[in-house]
């Protein structure tokens, strides 16, 4: 009897030790785009055997954030993530009744830097936002099983973009770009162009697309307004406002990218003959807002409409003749009154007022007091993002009021910025 009990005990210990050692230890990260940027929102664990139940309380998640180039503040280098839910899933995180994977849902918020798989660095070689090393160690505190090897990453919607675009705008000089091709469309599809801000330059267009929530233009909701639309996101090697000496200029001089960028756009359009040349829309934020307006001034007849957030182009550098040249282009500006970077009183406010004075009939301006939490989960109207981040209202298709606080209407019906834009076409 004693020998039999001892054998059972040894067998139990052996089997559990074997399972612990033989576990794949592999996980997949899920990176979702939010108003404040990308966050690691889920971890998918590869289990040794199929299961039907999983308890989120049994798991801890430790994170290490590091980079060989970007500067990660000490307080944001490591720590614990909070698991708020768990379920049995397939390898892509889809819930199933029985499966070989468990998906852990992690808490995310605008003030949780440990959730960020990118890092913003204000200066230096890796200036701007860049992907960093994001290492996770998941432990099942009940069984001692652990997962510490990243097998893959899933980036919803972003993974549907082609990120391989590269255009030689000068001899030996290239611009990268990413684009989304509509799944369902009419024979001719419009083109939505987004120009990133000063923090998303470089050679990896995924940053230009998910650094802010540009992926939203490829969602079913926004695509439906356009009947299916291409989305093009060019990426500047530096900053759109850089002059030949690499210094920012707010319209006072000539940047070094507008000619090449316009050539990139026209090349892309020509290579995709199913793009409707009468429905090409240009928009951007901050640096990209500057460049959007710059392209309108350079080629007023090319674009059907523009949507511009946190405009960085200063009104004083735009002549009355230039204003007259773009007064008939449909434009929707978006900005916050407390923007500390692109000061509204020297950029968007006088630009809008001068356009209206020049006789612009189809120009609107959504002017917010603050940039707030649209989800309501983090304080709603009482949570203030940086006032510069007014592009949140563009990506979320939230803008719907004009400068006077009244709804913008199309054919007598109130509309949002994307609804309005989808109806614009060159005459």
376 Cβ contact list (under 8 Å, min separation 6): none
* Final residue before a domain boundary, out of 139, 154, 169: 154
Does 168 lie in the same domain as 150? Answer: no
Contact 336, 371 (CB under 8 A): yes
In a domain, 15, yes or no: no
Cβ count near 70 (within 10 Å): 21
Q: Is 7 a domain residue? A: no
Task: For residue 125, give the CATH number of its domain.
Answer: 2.60.40.2180
Same domain, yes or no: 146 and 187 = no
Q: pTM score, two decimals? A: 0.93
- Rounded to whole angstroms, the Cα distance separating 116 from 29 reads 12
Q: Give the C-alpha separation, 274 to 264, whole Å.
A: 17
Using CA atoms, how far apart are residues 129 and 199, in angstroms rounded to an integer? 6
Same domain as 185, residue 282: yes
Instruction: Pull the structure tokens for residue 183.
Output: 């799944």
Q: Torsions phi, psi of 255, nearest 5? A: -75, 170
Q: Is residue 411 assigned to a domain?
A: yes
Same domain, 39 and 111: yes
The number of CA neighbours under 13 Å toward the Cβ of 352 is 26
Give the pLDDT confidence of 43-56 residue by residue, as tens digits. 999 999 999 999 99
Q: Which residues of the chain have pLDDT under 50?
A: 1-3, 5-22
Same domain, 319 and 201: yes
What pLDDT digit, counting tens, does each position of 98-120 carry?
999 999 999 999 999 999 999 99
Contacts of 21 (CB under 8 A, 6+ apart): none
Q: Are residues 148 and 228 in the same domain?
A: no
**362 lies in some domain:** yes
Are residues 77 and 184 part of one domain?
no
Domain closes at, from 98, 124, 154:
154
Domain final position from 154, 173, 188 = 154
Terminal Cα distance for the chain, rounded: 94
In a domain, 252, yes or no: yes
Q: Indicate whether 109 and 59 sit together in one domain.
A: yes
3 part of a folded domain: no
In a domain, 5, yes or no: no
Q: Are residues 199 and 81 in the same domain?
A: no
Q: Say how many domains are in the chain.
A: 2
Half-sphere exposure of 224 (CA within 13 A, CB side): 4
Q: Which CATH number is 278's domain given?
A: 3.40.50.1820
- Helix (H), strand (E), coil (C) string for the chain: CHHHHHHHHHHHHHHHHHHHHHCCCEEEEEEEEECCEEEEEEEEEEEEEEECCCCHHHEEEEEEEECCCCCCCHHHCEEEECEEEEEEECCCCCECCCEEEEEEEECCCCCCHHHCCEEEECCCCCCEEEECEEEEEEEECCCCCEECEEEEEECCCHHHCEEEEEEEEECCEEEEEEEECCCCCCCCEEEEEEECCCCCCCCCHHHHHHCCCHHHHHCHHHHHHHCCCEEEEEECCCCCCECCCCCECCCCCCCCCHHHHHHHHHHHHHHCCCEEEEEEEEEEECHHHHHHHHHHHHCCCCCCEEEEECCCCCHHHCCHHHHHHHCCCCEEEEEECCCCCCCHHHCHHHHHHHHHHCCCCCEEEEEECCCECCCCCCCHHHCECCCCCCHHHHHCCCCCECCCCCECEECCEECCHHHHHHCCCCC
Q: How far is CA 262 from CA 7, 17, 188, in A?
A: 76, 62, 21
Q: Are residues 273 and 393 in the same domain?
A: yes
Q: Is there a single domain that holds both residue 282 and residue 410?
A: yes
Domain that holds residue 88: 20-154
In sequence order, which residues have a C-beta less than 8 Å from that of residue 97 and are 6 or more positions away?
52, 88
Contact 74, 54 (CB under 8 A): no
Q: Would you state the pLDDT for residue 123?
A: 85
Measured CA to CA in angstroms, residue 345 lies from 215, 292, 313 at distances of 30, 19, 11
The verdict on residue 8 lying in a domain is no
One domain for residues 120 and 172 = no
What the block records as the tokens of 97 is 């009744």
Least Cα distance to 197 among 388, 1, 406 occurs for 388
């Amino acid at each position: 009897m004693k020998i039999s009990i001892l054998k059972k005990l040894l067998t139990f210990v052996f089997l559990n030790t074997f399972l612990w050692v033989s576990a794949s230890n592999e996980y997949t990260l899920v990176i979702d785009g939010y108003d404040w940027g990308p966050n690691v929102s889920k971890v998918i664990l590869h289990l040794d055997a199929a299961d039907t139940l999983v308890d989120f309380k049994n798991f801890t998640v430790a994170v290490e954030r590091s980079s060989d180039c970007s500067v990660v503040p000490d307080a944001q280098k490591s720590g614990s993530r909070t698991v708020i839910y768990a379920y049995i899933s397939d390898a892509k995180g889809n819930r199933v009744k029985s499966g070989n994977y468990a998906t852990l849902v992690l808490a995310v918020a605008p003030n949780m830097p440990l959730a960020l798989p990118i890092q913003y660095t204000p200066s230096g070689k890796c200036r701007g936002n860049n992907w960093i090393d994001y290492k996770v160690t998941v432990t099942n505190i009940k069984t001692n099983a652990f997962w510490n090897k990243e097998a893959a990453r899933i980036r919803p919607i972003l993974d549907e973009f082609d990120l391989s675009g590269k255009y030689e705008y000068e001899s030996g000089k290239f611009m990268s770009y990413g684009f989304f091709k509509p799944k369902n469309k009419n024979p001719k599809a419009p083109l939505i162009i987004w120009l990133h801000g000063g923090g998303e330059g470089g050679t990896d267009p995924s940053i230009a697309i998910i650094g802010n929530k540009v992926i939203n233009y490829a969602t079913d909701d926004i695509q439906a307004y356009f009947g299916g639309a291409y989305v093009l996101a060019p990426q500047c090697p530096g900053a759109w406002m850089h002059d030949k000496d690499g210094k920012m200029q707010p319209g006072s001089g000539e940047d070094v990218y507008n000619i090449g960028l316009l050539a990139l756009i026209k090349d892309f359009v020509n290579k995709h003959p199913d793009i409707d040349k009468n429905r090409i829309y240009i928009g951007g934020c901050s640096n990209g807002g500057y460049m959007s307006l710059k392209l309108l001034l350079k080629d007023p007849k090319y674009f059907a409409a523009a949507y511009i957030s946190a405009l960085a182009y200063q009104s004083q550098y735009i002549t009355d003749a230039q204003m007259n040249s773009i007064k008939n282009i449909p434009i929707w500006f978006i900005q916050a009154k407390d923007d500390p970077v692109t000061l509204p009183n020297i950029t968007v406010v006088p630009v809008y007022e001068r356009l209206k004075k020049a006789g612009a009939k189809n120009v609107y301006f959504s002017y917010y007091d603050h940039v707030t939490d649209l989800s309501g989960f983090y304080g709603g109207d009482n949570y203030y993002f940086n006032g510069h981040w007014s592009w949140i209202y563009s990506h979320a298709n939230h803008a719907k009021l004009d400068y006077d606080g009244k709804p913008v209407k199309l054919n007598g019906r109130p509309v949002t910025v994307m609804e309005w834009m989808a109806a614009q076409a060159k005459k």
